[in-house]
Chain A
Amino acid sequence: GQNIDQPTEMTATEGAIVQINCTYQTSGFNGLFWYQQHAGEAPTFLSYNVLDGLEEKGRFSSFLSRSKGYSYLLLKELQMKDSASYLCAVRPHTTTDSWGKFQFGAGTQVVVTP
């Protein structure tokens, strides 16, 4: 079956670095996405990985290892506004019926303290 695991909650102080891990077991793989979601709001896109390696985007970086079914999101120089839920999403496969379907993890709540 499909399984995407990420920690429930992480706490870090302002200015620090936090790494959110995500492991997945899906029927096929066609890309991994990270989204940020503030309470009561819709998710916003952060990053996309389809090949192994590190993708850097300002303070946020995302890493993927397809052989290990593993990704992480790295948040550097944490700010208070980074307090949110971070969702790992895998696009398992691509068919004409399911093009673009995502499987979401339960989300990791990051709490940034002063």
Chain B
Amino acid sequence: AQTVTQSQPEMSVQEAETVTLSCTYDTSESDYYLFWYKQPPSRQMILVIRQEAYKQQNATENRFSVNFQKAAKSFSLKISDSQLGDAAMYFCAYRSGQGAQKLVFGQGTRLTINP
């Protein structure tokens, strides 16, 4: 079975600075997706960024980028120019590229932005 591990329960960063959230995963599959989701206090789960395992290029979405290290099974999220609205729980998630489309989530990292 696949597992996802986020080893940082909490992180904090100064506004406008850069922060990196860590995620490792374990799988024997070669075809899969990796995601970062954001859950603000409103509880709405928001997809931040997606990475397909077959793509070597790291995904980017505006201020959000990932460092995808397939051999090391590592998938970190970098948030540049942090803003107060980035404060949230961040979840790393895995999905197989075949079969059922269920997500496997990590434990979550609570990110605090200090003004």
The judgment on whether A and B are partners is no
Q: Which A residues have a C-beta under 8 Å from some C-beta of B?
A: none
